[in-house]
Amino acid sequence: MDNKKTEQLKKYTVNNEGMHDLTTNQGLKMAEDEFSLKAGQRGPTLLEDFHFREKMTHFDHERIPERIVHARGVGAHGFFQLYESLEEFTKADFLTNPSKITPVFVRFSTVQGSRGSSDTVRDVRGFATKFYTDEGNYDLVGNNMPVFFIQDAIKFPDFVHAVKPEPHNEIPQGASAHDTFWDFVGQNPETAHMVMWVMSDRAIPRSLRMMEGFGVHTFRLVNAAGRSHFVKFHWKPVLGMHSLVWDEAQQIAGKNPDFHREDLYEAIEKGQFPEWELGLQLIPEEDEHKFDFDLLDPTKLWPEEEIPVKRVGKMTLNQNVSNFFAETEQVAFHPGHVVPGIDFSNDPLLQGRLFSYTDTQLSRLGGPNFHQIPINRPVCPFHNNQRDGMHQMSIHQGKTSYHRNGLNANQPAPVPEESGGYAHYQERIDGRKIRGRSESFLDFYSQAKLFYNSLAPYEQEHVKKAFSFELGKCKSDLVKANAIALLNHVDRSLAQEVADQIGAPLPNENREVKSDKKSPALSMADTVLLPDTKKVAIVRVGDPDVERFAEWTTALTEKNVNFTIVGHKLHDLPNPLKVTATFETTDPTLFDAVLLVSSESTIPAPALAFIETAYKHYKPLALALSDHQALASARVRLDEAGVYDLAHSTIEAFINGIAQGRFWKRQL
């Protein structure tokens, strides 16, 4: 389905189909492309060979610098539509006109790893959305966690140096489980809240389609009458929030490093379009100081039970990119790309970001004209007096490239606010110039505790294990001790258990925040549970009853569940029996559930291992066995929750289990 943006992109596409003449970049048809020009059959290559030189020079420069953070990403096109006008809060056209379909481009990313790193590492996920509005591009450059590690942008280079692979040996890739990251955490207690999130299941999403997004900072919405509200932006996934388990995430990193990228691509190709609702939390400007946290502090969230999330519209991703480099790699986001009706707050992290993005893109994209790259171009007209520069793609006409001018009737001219020109919100500022931090930013632990309190027991267990894993990988005793000292401010029992696991000292004095306060919205336990788009491996042993087999696959398809038939070799049998993956080419970690269908009295070892692994990762299993003794030696308890024997149970019960996802209480 085309939208204004994808329609615009078509103008820039180049297709080799039907182009039978191979030419140089100068349009010269070449008679030979396989052999360089040589002095004699066995002689040296000649410098004169312009074709060789051009081809090789271009190749030598095919790569551009990867993003300093968020290097690994995946993008898709889609659209956003509002439910009802938000004119009470903002004058932004795309937020006041429910009939408008605004094209979007979204890029998801991990933060720490380089371009070729694995998708399922423990990390924050970037969630950056470019809205191509009729008033210019609006970028909501967010993450899948609502808070951040630091409070002031000047610390960002330090933070990134600490989390990235260590400089002496460039280890570890795609991981924060190392000394310099945890040293930074121990030395900068403002990280406490964010590290709780990163050690939680939020950092290992099952799918990019099944995670929340957050604008993180407090922004400002301004309506036509000039009234201002503080706002936090949310993306709420229609499929709910779901995660991997850590052991599984690590295995997937090897079995399919493109797990998330492929999941998104395939869902869109199948027409199972991912959707998120846009949510807003709003606080009138005059209520700024009514809370026990500072609205400008990016290490704080606004509890949803206190400030409800108003769902205002829906985003659907319905088209994959047609060229990864041109679109996903060259897209340039910037939190400072705003439209009238959206403005900033004085969050010192946001303020620094407003500088950094263009700055980094100047070197990443090679000059000041990257707004002309097709994926970055607005869909509305853009005119000003900026000229020339590297890679200028437009041929500006006329003599005047300055304002004010008389020779071109002073065009282009600024647009008055009443006619749609952007005017900054006139916030009153009164203060001394200082380098410092507001005292209202100094409560580092209350919300870290709030987050931990809000988790279900199994989620807390995962947090403990994640801390034990990460700190267990650190080599420095000092680093470990400092990290435990930080946890001792958040939750004593958490600090104690982790200290015990990693052999680090627990401080004598209990300094934990005393609070039982919870915010249920922070837990993923009560999320939406749907079978839709989940993946089932149907493991086929022997020759199944074709009719029953067809019944099951039809039932799965009707509930929008995807399946792959796995066997020990590929069979070119007619559907629905066609085996398309083998025990060699796929793995149980890549599926949400397994259905084992066997007509044999013994189940071969790879099939047994398949269901044992899925069982260990708490996934639903359905069994259709001609001989129940066949599973006697398997490390799978048939009487456990989430195990469905199709001799007594139904495929519908199994599908309900698929919706539920994991059976955490299962005995292993």
Could you give the CA distance from residue 555 to residue 622 in angstroms, rounded to a whole number? Answer: 14
Could you give the CA distance from residue 227 to residue 172 in angstroms, rounded to a whole number? Answer: 49
Shortest gap between Cβ of 331 and ligand HDE (angstroms)? 6
> By the 8 A CB rule, do 98 and 85 touch?
yes
Residue of closest CB approach to ligand HDE: 126
Among 76, 82, 141, 556, binds ligand HDE (CB under 6 A): 141
Torsion of CA 601, 602, 604, 610, to 10 degrees: 80
Shortest gap between Cβ of 16 and ligand HDE (angstroms)? 28
- Which range of residues in 61-69, 272-280, 446-454, 604-612 is near ligand HDE by CB under 6 A? 61-69
Among 5, 51, 70, 91, binds ligand HDE (CB under 6 A): 70
Among 72, 91, 107, 464, binds ligand HDE (CB under 6 A): 107
Query: Would you count residue 630 as binding ligand HDE (CB under 6 A)?
Result: no
Among 128, 495, 539, 594, binds ligand HDE (CB under 6 A): 128
143 is catalytic: yes
Number of chain positions touching ligand HDE (CB under 6 A): 26
196 three-class SS: helix
Shortest gap between Cβ of 444 and ligand HDE (angstroms)? 17
Distances (CA, A) of 324 to 75, 320, 375, 478: 8, 9, 11, 44
Shortest gap between Cβ of 393 and ligand HDE (angstroms)? 20
From the list 3, 77, 137, 143, the catalytic residue is 143
Among 68, 521, 528, 634, binds ligand HDE (CB under 6 A): 68
Token pair recorded at residue 624:
């259709």
**Cβ-based neighbour number of residue 70 at 10 Å:** 22
| Ranges within 352-381 binding ligand HDE (CB under 6 A) | 352-353, 356-357, 360-361
Could you give the CA distance from residue 635 to residue 603 in angstroms, rounded to a whole number? Answer: 13
Shortest gap between Cβ of 333 and ligand HDE (angstroms)? 4
Query: Would you count residue 69 as binding ligand HDE (CB under 6 A)?
Result: yes
Among 235, 333, 467, 563, binds ligand HDE (CB under 6 A): 333
**Of 218, 324, 225, residue with least CA distance to 280:** 218
Q: 148 or 467, CB closer to ligand HDE?
A: 148
> By the 8 A CB rule, do 486 and 444 touch?
no
70 is catalytic: yes
Token pair recorded at residue 64:
């551009």
DSSP codes of every residue in 375-431 = GG--SS----S----TT------SS--SSS-STTTT-S----GGGT-----------
Beta bridge partners of residue 384, listed in sequence order = none
Shortest gap between Cβ of 106 and ligand HDE (angstroms)? 9
Could you give the CA distance from residue 235 to residue 57 in angstroms, rounded to a whole number? Answer: 44
- Which range of residues in 68-76, 458-466, 576-584, 654-662 is near ligand HDE by CB under 6 A? 68-76
Q: 337 or 465, CB closer to ligand HDE?
A: 337
Q: 333 or 654, CB closer to ligand HDE?
A: 333
Could you give the CA distance from residue 121 to residue 123 in angstroms, rounded to a whole number? Answer: 6
* Phi, psi torsion values for 261, nearest 5 degrees: -60, -45
Rg for the chain (alpha carbons), in Å?
Answer: 28
**Of 416, 429, 89, residue with least CA distance to 226:** 89
- Which range of residues in 48-56, 139-147, 549-557, 660-668 is near ligand HDE by CB under 6 A? 139-147
- Which range of residues in 51-59, 136-144, 196-204, 318-326 is near ligand HDE by CB under 6 A? 136-144
Q: Point out the residues that are catalytic.
A: 70, 143
Binding-site ranges for ligand HDE (CB under 6 A): 67-70, 73, 107, 109, 126, 128, 141-143, 148, 153, 156, 216, 331-333, 349, 352-353, 356-357, 360-361
